[in-house]
Amino acid sequence: MLEQEITPEIVKEHGLSAQEYQRILGALGRAPNMTELGIYSVMWSEHCSYKSSKIHLKKLPTERPWVICGPGENAGIIDIEDGQALIFKMESHNHPSYIEPYQGAATGVGGILRDVFTMGARPIANMNALRFGAPEHAKTRHLLAGVVEGVGGYGNCVGVPTVGGETNFDESYNGNILVNAMNVGLADANKIFYSAAAGVGNPVVYVGSKTGRDGIHGATMASAEFTEDSEEKRPTVQVGDPFTEKLLIEACLELMDTDAIIAIQDMGAAGLTSSSVEMASKGGVGFLLDLDKVPQREENMLPYEMCLSESQERMLMVLKPGHEAEAEAIFRKWELDFAVIGEITDSGHLELQFGGEIVGDMPINSLVDDAPEYDRPHVPTPKRQAVEVAAPDDINQAILDLIGGPHLCSRRWIWEQYDHMVMADTIQRPGGDAAVVRIHGTEKAIAISTDVTPRYCYADPFEGGKQAVAETWRNVTAVGALPLAITNCLNFGNPERPEIMGQLVGCLQGISEACEALDYPVISGNVSLYNETNGTAILPTPAIGGVGLMKDSSKMATVPFKRDGDVIILLGETKGELGVSLYQKQILGLDEGCPPSIDLTTERRNGDFVRALIENGQVDTCHDLSDGGLIAALADMAISGKMGAVITVGDLIPLHAVLFGEDQARYLLAVDASLAETVINEAMDAGIPVAKLGTVGGDKITVNDGVVNIALDDLTKAHEGWMPNYMTAE
């Protein structure tokens, strides 16, 4: 294999263009061997190099005073005071999850956990954003079941709670589901570990699981479109071992308590190759690796295979000289492999030794800095015209269909398969606006929400990008937390098509504008392109993971109605925006018009006002308005609180537009009757549109004296029933 001649076919199989191959020849001054070609192919893959997105990602706002570390490291870091820091990131595992849903999803969780604990954090919360094809598509049920089981199988065993997420269905994901996993960890702000290698002669140490032949070329697979024969790629899906990951977490955190580590990096996509190249590149040094010393699970592995394997649960470290024995003792205690596999050099090259010979020698900067960067042509999505959206034949039935349909039904079937309580700090469980996890041993808590509305992004990428950020901000606000920063996972189709590139560029502009206006910087993220099957792209799906901080978690607000007689108050302006609404999609089966507009100044003003109400103890029951509009929020509050509501809305706007409109920057509150007038007056003083809609109580949801009249029991049955029924149907 080492001697194999590099033909144009082999270059193509490695996902490299002819021009890119010429670039490699230029960088090396000679032809690469197979191992080197393999390494260039993964380092220059879309997945590792961000070659199509980089020039646009650079424009994202990434700085604010509380940001300790923005994009570029394994994960981003923010300061949450008292000497503590949060480390978080979201990452995609789309392609593997479609091919093998359980392992694809499980290793997605494993990978994002490593990105976080490699920086010195104890992981404290898992989140996810999942998209599946249409419910009626033949594969959807199988994929949903497998992904959920995989997410749970990994997180439950590792003992990190999976506290929330979002799950959506759309036919554009029929052949290309999305599995985006997020993790949040807690670290001491003065004890953070980075990946920059340093110190010529210092030992390079491999810890964790042994290297096998699994996952070879996973990063390359993730950088190509799917075709019918993608099933044949099943062997490139990695297999996860959460038990080893748990040991690895404990061993790494134990070693981090000592003074032995100079740099540490997990082996993620492209495994040993990308971890060593990134560490060397960041530190401006070279690496000499002796591949014979790599712990191996299988016999007769070749350098090519060892370098490209994506075997899971492995880490690479640079230790301070003389600390090897101390470190080894810790890893032996946890029954993990520990091997010194090389050393830092001043060559500026990645040199690979095998059987006593040098089998690879590449300049580090050529692998990283010389990676191609493309300014791909992009055309904006054409602006749409606003349309009239018809009323339903039967509004009561439409409400039942929505609340009891695939898009708004309870996700309990999913999250009851996740241990969402382990670590005993989950103070707001799944099902609310944001998950809330207490900072262990304190009164502080963090709120986390993952959101995006892909149908908005498809209709108008700029407004959709803004909305995705604004919705996480609103969800984090609705529990009473101050939103601090986001991570993102940008899932798009083939960037070589100008209209897809236009979606990416438009969404990023929207995200930037919202982050800027809301003081909500991007601190980490991931790009997943080529999400297409046989030329059909997914809806543009820039999933946003937002994180906020609550100083006094006893003030936290939740969704369920709590007291009979509470006054129901709607904050924010209702114009009845039904373009691209869930109502239009599900009930009318249409995708027309413009998504709701986002005014970020209004968003901020309204959100800041709500947060203050919660912090002051005036409000403990709050829900943001999003998919499905006012009636969906009201139903959630009633169903979860097991209390009905009687409301009246005016007739200036058609009733279906009031109930289903998805106007932004709105919150529904249930306020103790004695405080209601004060809250309404304060809103008016702040210039915020406010409406007293009615009161909590009874066993029905009633609107406008019975125009809408639905028994809470029926609504609850519909809401809770859809997913279990769907999953058990043949």
Give contact residues for other proteins (rule: CB under 8 A): 149, 152-153, 156-159, 241-244, 246-247, 334-335, 415-427, 438, 553-554, 558, 560, 562
Regarding beta strands 536-537 and 667-671, do their DSSP bridges make them parallel or antiparallel, or are they unpaired? unpaired
**Nearer Cβ to other proteins, position 560 or 698?**
560
- C-beta of 149: minimal distance to other proteins in Å? 8
Pair 151, 104: CB distance under 8 Å: no
Pair 313, 208: CB distance under 8 Å: yes
**Nearer Cβ to other proteins, position 10 or 422?**
422
93 included as an active-site residue: yes
- C-beta of 562: minimal distance to other proteins in Å? 7
Q: Classify the phi-psi angles of 121: left when phi > 0, otherwise alpha if psi is within -120 to 50, otherwise beta.
A: beta
The full DSSP string for 119-165 is TTPEEEEEEEEEEE--TTSTTHHHHHHHHHHHHHHHHHHHT--EEEE
Structure tokens at 385: 């015209």
**Nearer Cβ to other proteins, position 193 or 415?**
415
**Nearer Cβ to other proteins, position 108 or 454?**
108
Pair 689, 599: CB distance under 8 Å: no
Torsion of CA 344, 346, 348, 349, to 10 degrees: -60
Question: What's CA 219's distance to the chain center, in Å?
Answer: 18
User: CA distances (Å), 730 to each of 99, 135, 628, in order?
Assistant: 21, 12, 28
Pair 390, 124: CB distance under 8 Å: no
47 included as an active-site residue: yes
Pair 582, 402: CB distance under 8 Å: yes
- C-beta of 246: minimal distance to other proteins in Å? 6
Backbone angles phi, psi at 85, to 5 degrees: -135, 150
**Nearer Cβ to other proteins, position 197 or 557?**
557
Q: Give the residue ranges of DSSP H helices in 642-703.
A: 655-660, 673-685
The full DSSP string for 414-436 is HHTTS--STTS-EEE-TTSSSEE
Residues 6+ apart with CB under 8 A from 549: 80, 444, 445, 446, 447, 481, 482, 484
Beta partners for 533? Answer: 226, 536
**Nearer Cβ to other proteins, position 146 or 203?**
146
- C-beta of 682: minimal distance to other proteins in Å? 26
Which is catalytic among the residues 47, 217, 349, 420?
Answer: 47
Is residue 107 classed as helix, strand or coil in its secondary structure?
helix
- C-beta of 417: minimal distance to other proteins in Å? 5
**Nearer Cβ to other proteins, position 159 or 654?**
159
**Nearer Cβ to other proteins, position 137 or 412?**
412
**Nearer Cβ to other proteins, position 157 or 514?**
157
Q: Which of 187, 188, 97, 198 is nearest to 144 (CA)?
A: 97
**Nearer Cβ to other proteins, position 420 or 474?**
420
Torsion of CA 136, 141, 147, 149, to 10 degrees: 150
Pair 626, 561: CB distance under 8 Å: no
Residues 6+ apart with CB under 8 A from 374: 51, 52, 55, 495
- C-beta of 622: minimal distance to other proteins in Å? 14
Pair 507, 465: CB distance under 8 Å: yes
- C-beta of 414: minimal distance to other proteins in Å? 11
CB atoms near residue 345 (< 10 Å): 17
- C-beta of 420: minimal distance to other proteins in Å? 6
Q: Classify the phi-psi angles of 355: left when phi > 0, otherwise alpha if psi is within -120 to 50, otherwise beta.
A: left
- C-beta of 421: minimal distance to other proteins in Å? 5
Provide the residue type at 571 as one letter. L
- C-beta of 427: minimal distance to other proteins in Å? 5
Structure tokens at 532: 């297409």
Residues 6+ apart with CB under 8 A from 257: none
Q: Could you give the CA distance from residue 122 to residue 191 in angstroms, rounded to a whole number?
A: 12
Structure tokens at 285: 């040094």
**Nearer Cβ to other proteins, position 63 or 416?**
416
Q: Could you give the CA distance from residue 133 to residue 135 in angstroms, rounded to a whole number?
A: 6
Which is catalytic among the residues 14, 93, 378, 420?
Answer: 93
- C-beta of 152: minimal distance to other proteins in Å? 5
For the annotated catalytic residues, the residue numbers are 47, 93
